[in-house]
Amino acid sequence: TQDGDAEALRTRVADLLAASRARSIALTDAVDEADLVAQHSPLMSPLVWDLAHIGSQEELWLVRDVGGREPLRPEIDGLYDAFQHSRASRVELPLLTPSEARTYVAEVRDKALDALGRSPLTGRRLERHGFAFGMIVQHEQQHDETMLATHQLRTGAPVLHAPAPPPGSALPAREVYVPAGPFEMGTSVEPWALDNERPAHTVDVGAYWIDTAPVTNGEYAEFVDAGGYDDPRWWSDAGWRHRVDAGVVAPQFWERDASGAWFRDRFGVRAPVVADEPVVHVCFHEAAAYARWAGKRLPTEAEWEKAARHDPATGRTRRYPWGDDEPTPRHANLGQRHLQPAPVGAYPLGASPLGVHQLIGDVWEWLDTGFHPYPGYETFPYPEYSEVFFGGDYRMLRGGSFGTDPSALRSTFRNWDHPIRRQIFSGFRCARDAGARDAAERGA
Ligand code: AVJ
Ligand code: FE
């Protein structure tokens, strides 16, 4: 029945709201007052800003818009408007203190749950209302991942802890051939897909090869040790300029010890760089330079999504590489269950039909595509989520990382960032063009 459906949806939404809040609290309760209000990097907001911003968006969308309630704290709207203040400047603002922020987000949540209880969630208003709750869940989880990246930048004793991911395993091949042909990209049916993932549309993709796994630390270290950062041949003009100006010489957080071995700091723990884990904290320019050095290139966004979703046996587009079922801990390294990417081959159950592994989770994958709307795109519900970023200086990232919650990720989910950014959990895999011989040998 419609009432039963609405009730089930309400319960599901309430559970997801509670889970995202538990994560936000775990990320902020673990650090002391001074650390919460500190600027750990000009690239990031103080943690206390993210926390109150989460509440502020929830107040705007759920309490005022969906709930039709009076504003709780209209005077602070501007402080938490991401468009009014750069991340670097937020530490100077008269922000709510940590305890005020905690009280504020709890009060907002009470009223949002009240709105959820009263919202029909069915009928004419279902789309906008149901979606607003989904968007708020995803928004909080996105900021939780951003807070996790801030944790990686803070100094001092470690405050986050998690078990190690599952062990790796050998893959039968390092790359696979994807024959030319159309596939359906994007979605018109995922209920919580954001506007930029819509609508589903057919894309014709030429034949290509794609790596079965993300590029590992061991592979990336070969590029560094071979002088890859000293040779402009591998870098685009913009990439080389950035490499020189910013003094980039290795992935962020890498350091050599006295013997020359690579170490890194991860959430306050110093440890050797492990060869078979996906490389993380590289910018787009570093990823593209590695790919050129390796005789390859980065995939396009369409190539990534075809590798992740196209089932060559049926021609159908799947929801996930492994099929249509939601991710579980056995499929992919998501949800901050581990504080690092898992080694290559750790998720055989998560592989695509062609044998491409770890497309979902572990590290966001840089792609050689800018942020543009799909054909038929319609802004929904706010232009500030996607529309204002179209055509900017961005490259796409796909697949989510170990810090991405499954409730904020789909195989259609599109992330973007500036090509110089690497404080995010970003890695990559390579692709290359297929020649006429590849097709002939396969009778395609
Ligand atoms: C889509 C992940 C790039 O975190 O900056 C959060 C999402 N938008 N608040 C971001 C977002 C507004 C956004 N990304
Ligand atoms: Fe936000």
Reported as a single tens digit per residue, the pLDDT across 416-434 is 999 999 999 999 999 999 9
Ligand 2 centroid vs 245 CA: distance in angstroms? 30
Q: What is the pLDDT of residue 202?
A: 98
The pick from 57, 87, 142 for probing ligand 1's pocket by mutation, whose C-beta has the most ligand atoms within 8 angstroms, reads: 142
Of all residues in the chain, what percent carry a pLDDT higher than 70?
98
Cis peptide bond prior to 94, omega within 30° of 0: no
Q: What is the pLDDT of residue 4?
A: 80
Indicate whether 123 pLDDT > 70. no
Indicate whether 126 pLDDT > 70. no
Indicate whether 442 pLDDT > 90. no
Q: Is 415 in the pocket of ligand 1 (CB under 6 A)?
A: yes
> Residue 366: in which H helix or E strand, if any?
strand 364-366
The pTM (predicted TM-score) of the whole model is 0.97
The arithmetic mean of pLDDT across residues 60-69, rounded, is 93
Q: What is the pLDDT of residue 443?
A: 65
Indicate whether 122 pLDDT > 70. no
Q: Is 146 in the pocket of ligand 1 (CB under 6 A)?
A: yes
Kindly report, residue by residue over 148-160, the tens digit of the pLDDT.
999 999 998 999 9
Kindly report, residue by residue over 309-351, the tens digit of the pLDDT.
999 999 999 999 999 999 999 999 999 999 999 999 999 999 9
Ligand 2 centroid vs 148 CA: distance in angstroms? 14
Q: Is 139 in the pocket of ligand 1 (CB under 6 A)?
A: yes
Of all residues in the chain, what percent carry a pLDDT higher than 90?
91
The arithmetic mean of pLDDT across residues 3-30, rounded, is 93
ipTM exceeding cut-off 0.90 for this assembly:
yes
Which ligand gives the minimal distance to the CA of 142?
1
The arithmetic mean of pLDDT across residues 181-199, rounded, is 96
Indicate whether 121 pLDDT > 90. no
Number of the ligand 1 atom closest to the C-alpha atom of 415: 1
Q: What is the pLDDT of residue 334?
A: 98
Question: What's the pLDDT band for 435 if we cut at 50, 70, 90?
Answer: confident
